[in-house]
Amino acid sequence: MIGLGLLGLVALIYFKQHSMIYHPRSYDPSYAQAFPVNGEEISYTLPFGKQTAFYVPARNNGQLPTRLWIAFCGNGSLALDWTTILAGYPNSNDAFLLVDYPGYGKCQGYASIASMRVSSDAALNTLAKRLGFSGEELESRLCTIGHSLGSAVAIDFAARHRVQRVIAISPFTTLREEAACIMGSPLSHLLVESYDNRSSITEIRERNPEAKIAIFHGTDDEVIPVRMGRELAREFPFIDFFAVDGANHVGVLYEAHDEIIQWMNN
């Protein structure tokens, strides 16, 4: 009976792992008020359905942005949640592209590492065409920011593009190691896919040795332990690490708000 119970647990984790990692939801009416007046929807169609990202242009009289921040949310959040965090952003020359995962918000499809790569690249390419950017002009402006799972997506994005800055808020080392914290090391090997932030940070540095990277992590993070953020910073000494005293997994976004904005603009 114990053997059958264990087998059942293994099967449950294996077949239900997607719903354990991703928590997609749609936008409710309250988000209509969150979207900035000057914001634009960026729509594009992929083999797995229509996708919608959100562009918040620079407040610089229609000029092209000095920097374009690509923002990725946590697994239970939506792209437009960034509008609260970025309210009152001081640099009028920066623009933001807020990207939802497939299956989240207004996006169709099924979230995975592969589908998110395809979707984020397509969002960027669609925006580039709208703005009249060439590839070289765009890469000189690219920055990325993410929280929780979104920090891994942001780091992965930066490993595939030549970005100037990366902010990872509450990152894990690898998704498999984070899973091991929750369900134990043996069961963590059931994961079909795993973000590896160590490997991706190495690729970022190889692609652009001048890229700046910062990690903000709450010391009371109950989801992804702060030791993971510290471990990444120890392994890669060029990372600026900020331990946010007393902040939990979500609270770090608000507790460190001013410091995050300051680092984005230093």
Residue 180 to residue 174: CA distance in whole angstroms: 10
Q: Which residues pair with 240 in a beta bridge?
A: 214
Residue 97 — φ and ψ, nearest 5°? -115, 110
Question: What is the domain extent for residue 178?
Answer: 2-264
- Residue 66 CA to chain centroid, in angstroms? 21
Residue 43 to residue 55: CA distance in whole angstroms: 10
Closest CA to 178 of 218, 230, 224: 224
| Residues 119/82, Cβ–Cβ less than 8 Å | no
Kindly give the confidence (pLDDT) of every residue in the chain, 266 residues in length, as a single tens digit, with 9 standing for 90 and above: 545 443 443 443 444 556 567 889 999 998 988 888 889 999 999 999 999 999 999 988 877 899 999 999 999 999 999 998 888 899 999 999 999 999 999 999 999 999 999 999 999 999 999 988 876 778 889 999 999 999 999 999 999 999 999 999 999 998 776 665 555 445 545 555 778 999 999 999 999 999 999 999 999 999 999 999 999 999 999 999 999 999 999 999 999 999 999 999 98
| Residues 120/46, Cβ–Cβ less than 8 Å | no
Helix (H) or strand (E) holding 169: strand 165-169
Token pair 């933001």 is found at 96
Please report, for the domain that includes residue 191, its CATH number.
3.40.50.1820
Per-residue pLDDT, 188: 47
Domains contained in the chain, number: 1
Residue 37 to residue 54: CA distance in whole angstroms: 12
pTM of the model: 0.89
Residue 50 to residue 45: CA distance in whole angstroms: 4
Per-residue pLDDT, 1: 52
Q: Which residues pair with 142 in a beta bridge?
A: 68
Both tokens assigned to 218: 């709450």
Amino acid identity, position 42: I
Both tokens assigned to 121: 């690249």
Per-residue pLDDT, 7: 42
Residue 200 to residue 10: CA distance in whole angstroms: 29
What distances in angstroms separate CA 266 from CA 25, 137, 164, 170, 181, one per listed residue? Answer: 35, 22, 13, 21, 35
Per-residue pLDDT, 183: 56
Per-residue pLDDT, 191: 58
